[in-house]
Amino acid sequence: MTTRTKIAGAVLGAVVAGALAFVPLTDDGSAADGGGDGGGSLAAGPAQKEAVPSFTATDWVSYGDQVAVVRVTAEHELREPDEGAETDTAGGGEDYLARTVDLQVKERVWARSGAPALPSALSFTADGWQVKDGARKELGSPDSSRLEVGHAYVITLARFSGGAWAPLGSGGVLPYDHGRVGEGEFRGETVTSDAYRSAWEARAVPGDEAPVASRTAGKPSSAVREVLRGTRPDATAARYPGLDPVAGYRRAAGGGSEPAETFCSVAAPLAVSEDSRYTPQELAAVLGDLAALAGRDAASLRAYAASLTAGDGTPAAVDDAAREASVAGIERECGTDVGELLPTDM
């Protein structure tokens, strides 16, 4: 990966690593219009197109699983396995240093009916640092909080394909210091709820649904709960509660110009007759994709995928009950013989 690609691919807003919840809007590395950084410490990241909308209450109740008040307790550098020390950039180049954050759930605000249980502690990828000439500069989005240690936030969370939790998108992260929406860290700076509300009202588009941020600025989390309780989800998304957010939004949006993948089309290469070869990690990835498209079998597919990832597919580590349920589910839905559904390329 080139240095320019790393900068262009920097995540705007917290997102689960590998879930492809964000994709570049442009490939020229152009920066988003954040009004300039004013010489401050926050560098505006490149323009991004989010795979799931996340700014309005309709977005939250259509594609989110849980909304919670969280506090960021720690942050960590996230380096690629083959990446050298930061001094690699001292010769005048640019690089991107990713970051993960640890969060503690303080209050559960809202949950979609039938949503998976939210753990009390979470970790996921967030905006990191631009490194240039050996110096770091915090990277952030003009539309979102950066998620900094010591600050509280109201976040709409979703469990993505593979079972990992992450914010729905950049619009689903609201500052929440002192028990009021809009108080705290936003765009890498500490703001008041009045300034936060004004920032969102300046972006308002007549006729469009107002973001949750502007509707609840200055109010407690209970106001967020009431807004969500009074909002209907997208009708198409509501018919497929077992889909992960990306798959659910694609279905609600009509699937785009390419034929939408179905559960059975994803499962087809697993057929015994295909003689496909899979490492434990590759098989787990396919199972995660199937779980995103499954209904009642989603939990079994995720559980089996998790056991493959955790134990590298060794017989002692495989969740046999989940494996057998996954086999039964695939064969029932598709009529495809997948055998024992074990890794075939160790």
| pLDDT tens, position by position, 200-224 | 998 888 899 999 999 999 999 999 9
Give SS3 for 110: strand
Mean pLDDT of the chain: 79
Give me the mean pLDDT over the 122-137 stretch.
Answer: 89
pLDDT of amino acid 33? 35
CB 158 within 8 A of CB 64: yes
Is residue 2 over pLDDT 50?
Answer: no
Is residue 40 over pLDDT 60?
Answer: no
pLDDT of amino acid 216? 97
Give me the mean pLDDT over the 157-177 stretch.
Answer: 91
pLDDT of amino acid 105? 98
pLDDT of amino acid 83? 52
The pLDDT-based confidence of 268 (bands split at 50, 70, 90) is: confident
Task: Residue 51: name the closest of 31, 25, 17 by CA.
Answer: 25
Is residue 10 over pLDDT 90?
Answer: no
Is residue 321 over pLDDT 60?
Answer: yes
Q: Tens digits of per-residue pLDDT, 69-112? A: 999 999 999 875 555 544 444 445 678 888 999 999 999 999 99
For the whole model, what pTM was predicted? Answer: 0.64
Per-residue buried b or exposed e for 206-241, using 16+ beta carbons within 10 Å of the residue's own CB: eeeebbbbbbbbebbbebbbebbeebebbeebeeee
Give me the mean pLDDT over the 297-324 stretch.
Answer: 80
The pLDDT-based confidence of 41 (bands split at 50, 70, 90) is: low
Is residue 170 over pLDDT 70?
Answer: yes
Please state which of the ranges 51-55, 58-62, 307-311 shows the lowest mean pLDDT.
307-311
Burial (CB < 10 A; 0-12, 13-18, 19+), residue 84, is exposed
pLDDT of amino acid 213? 96
The single-letter DSSP state of residue 137 is E
Give CA separation, 34 vs 154, 234, 246, 338, in Å: 22, 30, 26, 51
